[in-house]
Amino acid sequence: MAELLFWPALLAYGEAAVAYAGDVRHPGSLGRLATWGVRIGWLVQTALLIAQAVRADGFPWDTWAGSLNLFVWLVVGAYLIWGCRPRFRLLGLVVMPLAALLLAVSYAAGGVDASGESGYSTLFLVLHVGLVLAGFAGFTLAAALAGLYLWQERQLKHRSSTVLRFRAPSLVTLESLAARTVAFALPVLTLGMAAGFARIRHGSELDPLIVLTVLTWAVYGGFLLLRFGAGWRGKRAAYVTLAGFALVVALQVSLQMGHFA
Amino acid sequence: MSLVLVGTSHLLAPVEDREQVAVDLEAAAELAAALADGGEAVCLSTCNRTELYLVRGDPEEAEARAIQALGAGAIELYRLRDEDAALHLFRVAAGLDSLVPGEGEILGQVRSAYEAGSCGPVLDRLFRQALHAGKKVRTETAIAESPSSVSSAAAALAQQVFGDLDGCRVLLVGAGEVSELAARSLTKRGASISAVTSRTQERATYLAARFGGRAVPFGTLADELEQADVVVSSTSSPDQVVSRDLVRDRKGRPLFVIDLAVPRDVDPEIAALDDCYLYDIDDLEAVVSESMSGRWREAERAESITSHEAERFRDWQASRDVVPAIASLRERAETIRSGELAKAESRLEGLSESERRTVESLTTQIVNKLLHVPIVRLKEAAATEGTGYVEVARHLFGLAEDKENRDPK
């Protein structure tokens, strides 16, 4: 059943990615086609996750590949909140190919067939893994927004004559959305980390992954302090968001190598 | 009924000719009513074109009336019929026949002409479809999205920085016509003119009053720059007016500077400052040129939309012509069927009620099956080949004779 749902989800995400690329050349109907691809793909992936949850004994996404499947669903879900507006279609050009690729990787690594026989309790995994991944999904979107901000800023700064050809959201909108996304994602990550810390037994060693997670938390925490406290905006803020995302990528890779294993 | 279009436009006639036949909306309504005279008529008159759309049984007569109304051949006119006329109107409504492709004003003008016209079923359908085609082109292509003038490009770029311009404070440096045009473009998108400064205080006061801003002395430029989000500079000063040292740290607040003056008013070094975006007249003209070529690219896609709409109109018109013929054919077949059954009445007397119904149903089915293919082919041929097949069908089945026999007039 899960396998049957995987392929339509991947197909819809792939279609959205291709249609977003086509929309850059010919804005209009292709953009709408892309938007429907995202919506349908996300709904099918939701059904896929439900099918996995029903079939599994415990939390079905406690493997690295399984968590990637959940992560893709969270990223696309967050993107769906405002990403389907015409002005944000350029963002879809970044998010949807990534979503399609990560979903394919998750499938190849067995994330769609996760059995869910876990040593951890379901409640702990839902709280810890679910919240941490939701936080990461938020940071991923914030990074995509920051990347789009830097691209748009460069176009305007260099007075490119094609600056109006590919209409992205305005600099102010992108900057404020990226900051708000981080402001939402950081508390979610904090809760996920708190759930993880609650499980650490007294006297056990801190692994490098925990240190990296705390560092990521500190970078984003510092970003929020500077952004909302000291009025940090513009390119500097975008670079810090991207630096934080580099740590998120490092964390995801480390998870594959250590934590889930 | 034939659709006839006679008209002239900027592509055919110079303004001296066009102004001879241009009419206002009220006169257009009167002209349409006079030309309709039992048929249908619409007069579309804008600064770029005057066109008469007529629907009458005799297209030659319709053309002659329209030519008479448009100066009796004194100026050059184009004449189009049916599908070609429809395609022309759809292109006009889509802005493809305009000087600036995709310009938005024409759609409103087509709507006004339609509302003022003397429309019947054909022109009603034609103009509603034209308005639909015009909207479709603007929503499905990006033809109308790009700016077509320097001032609108400046406003569009400001929107790329700030998004919604509501609450954006604009400082005008110089109070000439160019500043006024740019100010108009920005305020139309929600920005507010907070201050105007000019070496000619009188002009600054006038412009400030006009846009609800303050006229401020030149000496306060640095303070005003600090408050502003957008600066439009267009003085006739031979020297730089806005130097780099006048711009204080923006602390992350973007400053969008539009330098419309030649020689330039604004120190180009300002472009290197963080959060400052500077566009001079060349930059803006390059943006306009690029967006105009974008409009032409989109125009190719718009053409296919209008062609498709013209084909739909042709099909609709053809179906209008073929419907009476099909109805006559069915009527004739039914008359023959019921007549033959009546003749055989005496021989069918021995049949039960159920057997009688079977015979009725059988004869009806035979007639329907015999007619099905000719009717389908007739509809197809009317859509693709015109009304020639309809005439042939009338001749073959004697439909015209039937009509004449029933209606001796």
Which of A199-203, A234-238, B333-337, B400-404 is least confident? B400-404
Please provide the DSSP assignment of B136-190 as one string.
HHHHHSSTTTS--SHHHHHHHHHHHHHSS-TT-EEEEES-SHHHHHHHHHHHHTT
Domain ranges of chain A: 1-115, 120-261
Q: State phi, psi for B45 to the nearest 5 degrees.
A: -130, 115
Q: In terms of pLDDT, which residue wins out, B153 or A110?
A: B153
User: Looking at residues A97-110, what average pLDDT do you find?
Assistant: 87
Confidence at residue B406, expressed as pLDDT on a 0 to 100 scale: 46
Q: Does any CB of chain A come closer than 8 Å to the CB of residue B71?
A: no
User: Looking at residues A51-61, what average pLDDT do you find?
Assistant: 75
Average pLDDT of chain B to the nearest whole number: 86
User: What's the pLDDT tens digit per position in A135-155?
Assistant: 998 999 899 999 999 999 999
| DSSP 8-state assignment for residue A168 | P
Give me the residue label for tokens 């010919």: A26
Give B184: exposed, middle or buried? Use CB within 10 Å, 0-12, 13-18, 19+: middle
Q: Does any CB of chain A come closer than 8 Å to the CB of residue B166?
A: no
Rounded Cα–Cα distance for residues B6 and B73 (Å): 11
Cβ pair B229, B201 in contact under 8 A: no
Alpha helices in A111-165 (DSSP H): 122-125, 131-157
Confidence at residue A9, expressed as pLDDT on a 0 to 100 scale: 92
pTM: 0.70
Rounded Cα–Cα distance for residues A128 and A112 (Å): 20
Please say if B47 is a catalytic residue. Answer: yes
> Which of B252, B291, B301 lies closest to A231 in CB terms?
B252
CB contact under 8 A, A164 and B157: yes
User: What's the pLDDT tens digit per position in A197-210?
Assistant: 777 766 666 677 88
Pair type for strands B2-9 and B78-81: antiparallel
Say whether B170 sits in a helix, a strand or coil: strand
| A117 confidence band (pLDDT: 50, 70, 90) | low
Q: What is the percent of chain B with per-residue pLDDT over 90, rounded to a whole number? A: 26
Give me the residue label for tokens 């379901």: A122
Cβ pair B11, B66 in contact under 8 A: no
- Does residue B401 surpass a pLDDT of 70? no
Side chain identity, residue B398: G
| A220 confidence band (pLDDT: 50, 70, 90) | very high
Pair type for strands B276-280 and B255-259: parallel
CB contact under 8 A, A169 and B163: yes
Rounded Cα–Cα distance for residues A111 and A66 (Å): 4
Q: Which residue from A153, A173, A178, A154 is spatially nearest to A228, judged by alpha carbons?
A: A178
Cβ pair A139, A49 in contact under 8 A: no
Based on C-alpha coordinates, what's the Rg of chain B? 33
User: What's the pLDDT tens digit per position in B89-124?
Assistant: 999 999 998 878 888 788 999 999 999 988 888 999
User: Looking at residues A33-44, what average pLDDT do you find?
Assistant: 92
Say whether A238 sits in a helix, a strand or coil: helix
Show Cβ contacts of residue B375 under 8 Å, excluding neighbours closer than 6 positions: B326, B329
Give the active site residue among B43, B47, B119, B168.
B47
Using a CB-CB distance cutoff of 8 angstroms, which residues of chain A are in contact with residue B137? none
The residues of A whose Cβ lies within 8 A of any Cβ of B are 26-29, 152, 156-157, 159, 161-165, 167-173, 231-235, 237
Here the tokens at position A205 are 């060693």
| B409 confidence band (pLDDT: 50, 70, 90) | very low
CB contact under 8 A, A234 and B145: no
Using a CB-CB distance cutoff of 8 angstroms, which residues of chain B are in contact with residue A28? 139-142, 301
Give B370: exposed, middle or buried? Use CB within 10 Å, 0-12, 13-18, 19+: exposed
Confidence at residue B58, expressed as pLDDT on a 0 to 100 scale: 83
User: What's the pLDDT tens digit per position in A78-91?
Assistant: 888 877 777 777 78
- Hey, what domains does chain B have and what are their CATH numbers? 2-140 (3.30.460.30), 150-289 (3.40.50.720), 322-406 (no CATH)
User: What's the pLDDT tens digit per position in B206-218?
Assistant: 889 988 899 998 8
Q: In terms of pLDDT, which residue wins out, B91 or B295?
A: B91
CB contact under 8 A, B277 and A157: yes
| A120 confidence band (pLDDT: 50, 70, 90) | low
Q: What is the percent of chain A with per-residue pLDDT over 70, rounded to a whole number? A: 87
Cβ pair B159, B189 in contact under 8 A: yes
Average pLDDT of chain A to the nearest whole number: 84
Rounded Cα–Cα distance for residues A122 and B318 (Å): 68
